[in-house]
Amino acid sequence: MSLLTDLINLNLSDCTNKIIAEYIWIGGSGMDLRSKARTLSGPVADPSKLPKWNYDGSSTGQAPGEDSEVILYPQAIFRDPFRRGNNILVMCDAYTPAGEPIPTNKRCNAAKIFSHPDVAAEEPWYGIEQEYTLLQKDVKWPIGWPLGGYPGPQGPYYCGVGVDKAYGRDIVDSHYKACLYAGINISGINGEVMPGQWEFQVGPSIGISAGDELWVARYILERITEIAGVVLSFDPKPIQGDWNGAGAHTNYSTKSMRNDGGYEVIKKAIEKLGLRHKEHIAAYGEGNERRLTGRHETADINTFLWGVANRGASIRVGRDTEKAGKGYFEDRRPASNMDPYVVTSMIAETTILWKP
């Protein structure tokens, strides 16, 4: 198949100024990523210079057949690690022809919150720890797991090495480099407690860009698993029983929290989050009740508690932050299938704007 590879890897910059832009958007379920590509006459570095586009919303559960056009607004550009050259990936959000955000467009509201002067002044930083599980294609059972059975119990797999402990490292490593190439701020990766489960972290990112970067990182991951012939799952509890779930712990700080005396600001913010626990949980991902049981390094879904270095809490404050008197905290409640636009903007809204 090397002839096919030769063609896929053609460097078009030698023969044309044209570039290919892959427009990415979120479909009707709120978690299904979609994309299609178009040719542009030359390189583009600024999303505002990209043309708006449209797609058939009746094929993604987002519009009726007799009025099917949904408009794509380019919001963020990344380098395309698959096509390389001057080709780009473009994260978009979706609007009606009249210019209204469609119901599944969570970015629009998040952008409004992040544009609020009080929020902008606080420069909210996010580090999101995205966990995910890799499944065998035809049976939807985790990769490396025996068909009709289970691997040995959890213990050896977290950050493990070796063919009997680490399943799918190729995918994780190529994803890491592909994202760095693309310009996504990946800060690290690790093998997770359940075999076949992995984590990557995106951040620190400011405001709306946390959501943009995480969604494009998810897209790149799904393109890579597609190449590898493996199915990507963001289910928060893919295997019932004594197996860890998958979360998207969201680390957060504001300018005030990062400055001297920030620890007091952090405590006040955590208090506010505690008062809105139910509202946050409702927005933190479908199926989270199967994961937040109080076991497997989670806090029970109905309980709000926080603690230093406590992985069984809803919110964990690191020992570094406690010692320095300033820093950040980790909201451990969001599920792996959360929408980062929703979670990041809601945390900012509750801690900066909301008055109890």
Partner 1 sequence: MSSLSHLINLDLGRTTKKIIVEYIWIGGSGMDLRSKARTLPGPVTDPSELPLWNYDGSSTDQAPGNDSEIILRPQAIFKDPFRRGNNLLAMCDCYTPAGDPIPTNKRFNAAKIFKHPDVVAEEPWFGIEQEYTLLQKQVKWPLNWPVGGFPGPQGPYYCGVGADKSFGRDIVDAHYKACLYAGINVSGINGEVMPAQWEFQVGPATGISAGDQLWVARYILERITEIAGVVLSFDPKPIPGDWNGAGAHTNYSTKSMRSDGGIHVIKKAIEKLGLRHKEHIAAYGEGNERRLTGRHETADISKFSWGVANRGASIRVGRDTEREGKGYFEDRRPASNMDPYVVTSMVAETTILWKP
Q: Which of 60, 201, 253, 336 binds partner 1 (CB under 8 A)?
A: 60
Distance CA 179, CA 219 (A): 10
Residue nearer to partner 1 on the CB measure, 16 or 259: 16
The helix, strand and coil proportions of the chain, stated in percent and rounded to the nearest 5, come to 30, 25, 45
CA-derived radius of gyration, the chain: 21
Distance CA 127, CA 217 (A): 13
Residues 1-40 that bind partner 1 (CB under 8 A): 1-4, 6-8, 10, 12, 15-16, 18, 20, 27, 32-39
Q: How far is CA 12 from CA 43, 79, 85, 88, in A?
A: 12, 15, 7, 13
- Number of other residues whose CB lies within 10 A of the CB of residue 95: 18
Residue 148 per-residue DSSP state: T
Q: Which of 108, 228, 239, 305 binds partner 1 (CB under 8 A)?
A: 228
Q: Which of 43, 59, 268, 325 binds partner 1 (CB under 8 A)?
A: 59
Residue nearer to partner 1 on the CB measure, 4 or 45: 4
Residue nearer to partner 1 on the CB measure, 69 or 264: 69
Q: Which of 123, 170, 226, 271 binds partner 1 (CB under 8 A)?
A: 226
Distance CA 282, CA 306 (A): 19
C-beta separation of 25 from 71 below 8 A: no
| Shortest distance in whole angstroms from residue 213 CB to partner 1 | 17
Q: Which of 225, 253, 288, 321 binds partner 1 (CB under 8 A)?
A: 225
Residues 241-270 that bind partner 1 (CB under 8 A): none
| Shortest distance in whole angstroms from residue 319 CB to partner 1 | 39
Distance CA 51, CA 61 (A): 24
- Tell me the residue ranges of DSSP E strands in 207-297: 230-233, 248-253
61 lies in the binding site for partner 1 (CB under 8 A): yes
Distance CA 26, CA 55 (A): 12
Residues 83-142 that bind partner 1 (CB under 8 A): 83, 97, 137-138
147 lies in the binding site for partner 1 (CB under 8 A): no
Q: Which of 47, 79, 82, 287 binds partner 1 (CB under 8 A)?
A: 82
Query: What is the full DSSP assignment across 264-276?
Result: HHHHHHHHHHHHT
| Shortest distance in whole angstroms from residue 12 CB to partner 1 | 6
Spell out the residues 6+ positions from residue 14 whose beta carbon is closer than 8 angstroms to its own: none
**Site size with partner 1, rule: CB under 8 A:** 49
Q: Which of 129, 199, 222, 330 binds partner 1 (CB under 8 A)?
A: 222
56 lies in the binding site for partner 1 (CB under 8 A): yes
Q: Which of 78, 219, 284, 328 binds partner 1 (CB under 8 A)?
A: 219
CA angle (249 as vertex; 233, 157 as ends), nearest 5? 60
Q: Which of 65, 99, 117, 155 binds partner 1 (CB under 8 A)?
A: 65
Distance CA 281, CA 273 (A): 10
189 lies in the binding site for partner 1 (CB under 8 A): no
Q: Closest Cα partner for 71 from 50, 46, 100? A: 100
Distance CA 8, CA 227 (A): 13
Residue nearer to partner 1 on the CB measure, 13 or 109: 13
Q: Would you state the structure tokens that stand for residue 313, as one six-digit string?
A: 């809490």
Determine the interface stretch with partner 1 among 52-60, 116-124, 301-309, 343-351 (rule: CB under 8 A): 52-60
Residues 321-350 that bind partner 1 (CB under 8 A): none
CB-side exposure of 101: number of CA atoms within 13 Å? 14
Residue nearer to partner 1 on the CB measure, 3 or 45: 3
Where do contacts with partner 1 occur on this chain (CB under 8 A)?
1-4, 6-8, 10, 12, 15-16, 18, 20, 27, 32-39, 54-56, 58-61, 65-69, 82-83, 97, 137-138, 219, 222-223, 225-226, 228-232
